[in-house]
Each structure stands twice: as C-alpha cells, then as structure tokens.
Amino acid sequence: MTTRRGLFVAPFDQLADPRVVGDLAADAEAAGWDGFFVWDHLLYGERVTDIADVWTCCAAVAMRTERLLLGPMVTPLARRRPQVLARQAASLAVLSRGRFVLGLGLGDDWVGEFSAFGDEPDPRTRARMLDEGLEVLSGLLGGGRVDHQGEHHAARGVTFRPAPDVLIWLAGRFPNRAPLRRAARYDGFFVIGLDGPGDLERTVSALAEHDPAPGFDVVVDLRPEQDPGPWLDRGASWVLTRIGPFDLDLDEVRRVVASGPART
C-alpha cells in the first residue's frame, strides 16, 4: 500500500495569515511532504484569538505549490450551502490542477461554533444535513443532472459542468459506526479520537465490511513527536502531522515543516 505523509495545519494566531500559510506550504513541498491540509473553524475557544479563512488559505497553498495535495480538513457541510461549496471545490480543483481534496464532517459545537451564529447545534440533525448535502454536492461535482428536494437542501433539475476529480474524505470519531459507513461510500475516512494503533486496526477491519472502492484512503493525524510507523503498519494510507491548535510559535512550526516527513 502506498503511504503518504502530510501536514494538518490550524491557521490560528501566528498562522492566521494566508501569506504565511502559503509560505509554509511551499516549504513543506520542498521538504518532501505529500499533503497540506487546513483546519476549518470560525471559533476555537478563548485560547485562540485569530483564525484565517480556510478557502483563502487553500487558494494560497494551491498557488504556491505544484505537487502537494491540499484541502480543508474538515468543513462542516451543515453550515454551508452544498451548491456554493461545489463551486468553491471545483474552482480550487482547477486552480490546483487536480490536487484538491474536500474534507467534510459534522463539525462540533463544543465552543458554540454553530449555536453562536444560529446554525444547527444538534449533531443528529447535522448528520441528516450532511447526508443530504453530500447527495447534492457530489451530484453537482460529477456534472450529472441533480433533482433533490429534501428537508434541508434542494437542487431541482440543475446541472453543473463536471469538475476535475475532487476526492471527498469524510471525518468521523472512533468508534462511531455511522461516520464509517458514510465514508465508505466516498474516497477516504479521516479517523479522529483514536487512542492507539489498535483502534485504527479495528477501524480498518470495520471499513472492509463495507467494501470501499480501490484506492480508498484511511487518514489519521498525530502530534509531531509521535512515531508514524505503528499507524502505517495498521493500515493508514495517510499520516498527518498536526500543527496546532494552541500556543503556535512560528519558528517552531517552520522547524517541524522543514524537518520533512520521517519515512518508515
């Protein structure tokens, strides 16, 4: 199995500047990383005072690199209109020449990121919105005629021009099975909340029951000091090194980026 290493970057505080994010992405490509993925948040508690927009950051990464895969990791689809998101994703796929990965999930309201703005706070409702939104979004990106009238989203007789291939990774927290089943229908599963490589092994076994397509990615993120080897051995096709979220020091971030991925 091909294994790849990426960066999972919170664009917070000292990194809350798309120009800085673009510089880091260029350095990451030069250092041999395979991907550069950016957190998507509006709020992140009192310890974070500044947050950059994920889409602007992704555009900066696309413009500063030639090889890296890139994308938001992850966007809560329930707070976005899938037809607008489809246009954004298609445009970034063109800008990056086919290197764009769309990470999607439920999101979390632990700091009021939904309720503070009048967005849907209930996770079960957001799950239904995610499933409906995925149907509309994937149909529009694929260029087929979309006829959908749901509780939360509608697209009646709409056709978009097909976008360059956009991989869709779904995030989910271990050991919840609903996100795993959802992800198996798309291109990858970003598993969060794993206590150790054994949890990943159980996740990979559970995914196999749902027969994901060839090339399906299993994605985990680790702190910079963690050894990726045991996770790669248990079935991760991507191991991301987490940068953030708190007390980010730009010099230290640059050191982690420049050190490159430790290949095992």
* Longest CA–CA separation in the chain, Å: 51
In this prediction, residues 141-152 reach a mean pLDDT of 93
- Provide the residue range defining the domain that includes 25: 4-259
Q: How many domains does the chain have?
A: 1
E strand spans, the chain: 4-9, 35-38, 69-72, 75-76, 101-105, 146-149, 154-158, 167-173, 188-192, 217-222, 238-243
On whether residue 101 sits in a domain, the answer given is yes
What is the per-residue pLDDT for 264? 41
For the entire predicted model, the pTM comes to 0.96
List the CATH number of the domain containing 127. 3.20.20.30
17-21, 133-137, 259-263, range with the lowest pLDDT: 259-263
| The residue type at 105 | G
- Which tens digits make up the pLDDT trace of 233-257? 999 999 999 999 999 999 999 999 9
Q: Say if residue 84 is preceded by a cis peptide, omega within 30 of 0.
A: no
Is residue 264 domain-resident?
no
Domain assignment present for residue 182? The answer is yes
Q: Which of 32, 29, 163, 9 is nearest to 97 (CA)?
A: 163
Q: In this model, does residue 138 exceed pLDDT 90?
A: yes
The pLDDT value recorded for residue 199 is 97
Indicate whether 215 belongs to any domain. yes
Tens digits of per-residue pLDDT, 42-86?
999 999 999 999 999 999 999 999 999 999 999 999 999 999 999
Instruction: With beta carbons less than 8 A apart as the criterion, state whether 37 and 9 touch.
Output: yes
